[in-house]
Structure 1
Amino acid sequence: MTDLAEPAAAEGVGADTPRPQTLLLTFLGGHVLDRGIHVATASVLDVLDRVGVSEHATRSTLSRMARRGLLHRVRRGRHVYVGLTERSRAILHDGERRIWHAGAVNRQWDGTWTLLGFSMPESWQRQRHALRSRLLWSGFGSLQGGLWIAPGRVDPAPLLDGLGADGHVKVFQARTLAPTEVAEIVREAWDIEELAGHYRAFLARWQNPTTQAADSLARDLLLESDWLQTIRTDPRLPREHLPADWPAEPAQELFYALSTELKPAAHTIAASILDTITDEQADED
């Protein structure tokens, strides 16, 4: 889940450019997912070069993702090809759902909250960091102490997968009762102005874009990666508890409009430059 929405910049990209892993996963989600193919690393280098990522940064990202079980690598002749694993497919399908189906605004909240509390040993720094990252991606805010809260019904299984922390976590579903006020919960658990600022910044970047992209493929990757980073910490709070001028809706409309405009040419360019083999060919001995 969190692999799809890493914030900040990394080696080989500018401060306003999404990280190489975010760009790479966005590319894989748009041009490899559900197609039954592996793509040559040379093609990946070409694509990420179009968005300003250095060869060194791309190769480092590919190696790191392969070590983490996000990519399957195979050599055929002089070329190395990379394909998706079960784990990366799950991550990409989750991102696909978040972008194209869930939407940025929650208009169907039924009044239910999911609460999750955890207490882990001090030595479990990696597990605590991973769980907090997953909680943020899944829409949780920190209510108090080790208690986190999210609107709606959130399945805890993906949050805890692989952490070995089940015995240190308690999960509940609940509804508020008087004297608790939903507006107070929203103010305490989330920085609404900061969330709104992410959407306003997206609008400012893309209403009159100054980003120099090589072509429609590059621009589409930058757009979708930027949108992922914009929504990555948005809990999709109930619309009735958000300000009247909430900027998520116009930002989403702009993203959808630009994406619709860019995708046909982006797919045409990708089809012309990508060196691919089928998953069956990749599995041959």
Structure 2
Amino acid sequence: MLTFLGDQVLGRSVCVYSGSVIDVFARAGVGEQATRSTLTRMVNRGLLRRQREGRRMYFGLTEHSEAVLRDGERRVWHTGAVNRQWDGTWTLLGFSLPESWQRQRHDLRSKLAWHGFGPLFSGLWIAPGQVDVAELVTELGLASHVKVFRAHADDGTDITAMIEETWELTELAARYTAFRERWQRWESELPSCDDALAHRLLLQTDWLRIIRRDPRLPVRHLPSDWPADGAEKTFRRVHERLTPLADEAAERVIDLVESRS
């Protein structure tokens, strides 16, 4: 849903008709009830707002969802999947939470993983580069329970071994390889116009799932056959091929109205 909204609504001051969302998602293999339930949950979580036009219900973004989508946009189109500019800096984040705070602990770990952190030790997480986590910590209300430091490893530290121990590289590499195998056929083939819209939605969602799990570790400390670069090239080529047909379909099947807020 966030991928769809990023494509069709973000930056346009418009709201999208629920029926249009249902139609597009049906082509992507998602049932009507699941789509309606997702829209409702996102409204309840402050990620969407409703706007009625006659008998039709439209949905628009909130400040929260815009921020989430802008962050995803940066990760997909600007940051890239391969980190070649690492300056040797690490961000260390230590936290200590009461045992009863299971939800807060889960939320913190999920947010840290999205921002590229991995568990160096229990209660001590590490990420390559200088990562600003002030907003993240404040949003979760955990500022008094978290300490953040910038650091460089001593010369004797085996960074490659540390990375292998902290992050699941084998699983991440397998995800990149599977992505490329799944989508590379569309580098030379094209679906029908309407199917192109659903394919692009699935392509972007599939890619976002992978990079959400990728801490963008320094490439010089990764295996020489690291598959992220090849997978990213496949993503960009297939997206470029699908976009003209997908945009044509979107103009025809997606009903948008001007946002009133």
Q: CA RMSD in A?
A: 1.6
Kindly provide the CA deviation profile for residues 86-127 of structure 1, in whole angstroms up to 9, marking residues without a partner as x.
010011010010000000000000000001111111222221
TM-score, normalised via structure 1 length: 0.87
Structure 2 unaligned segments of length 5 or more: list them: none
Counterpart selection for 1:273 from 238, 244, 253: 253
Offset of residue 157 of structure 1:
2.2
User: Where does 1:26-45 land on structure 2 (aligned, <5 Å)?
Assistant: 26-45=3-22
Partner of 1:71: 48
1:54 aligns with 2:31: yes
Query: Secondary structure of 1:215's match?
Result: helix
1:148 aligns with 2:125: yes
Structure with more helix by fraction: 2
CA distance in 1, matches of 2:161, 2:147: 23
Partner of 2:229: 249
Moved more, 227-236 or 155-164: 155-164
User: Where does 1:1-285 land on structure 2 (aligned, <5 Å)?
Assistant: 24-208=1-185, 215-280=195-260, 283=261
Query: Secondary structure of 1:38's match?
Result: strand
CA distance in 1, matches of 2:113, 2:165: 15
Offset of residue 76 of structure 1:
1.8
Query: Secondary structure of 1:80's match?
Result: strand
Query: Secondary structure of 2:11's match?
Result: coil
The number of residues matched between the two structures is 257
TM-score, normalised via structure 2 length: 0.94
Query: Secondary structure of 1:173's match?
Result: strand
Query: Secondary structure of 2:139's match?
Result: coil
- What is the aligned-residue identity percentage? 56
Offset of residue 162 of structure 1:
2.4
Indicate if the aligned counterparts of 2:184 and 2:238 stay in contact, CA closer than 8 A.
no
Query: Secondary structure of 1:208's match?
Result: helix
Structure 1 unaligned segments of length 5 or more: list them: 1-23
Partner of 1:6: none
Give the aligned residue type for 1:69. Answer: G
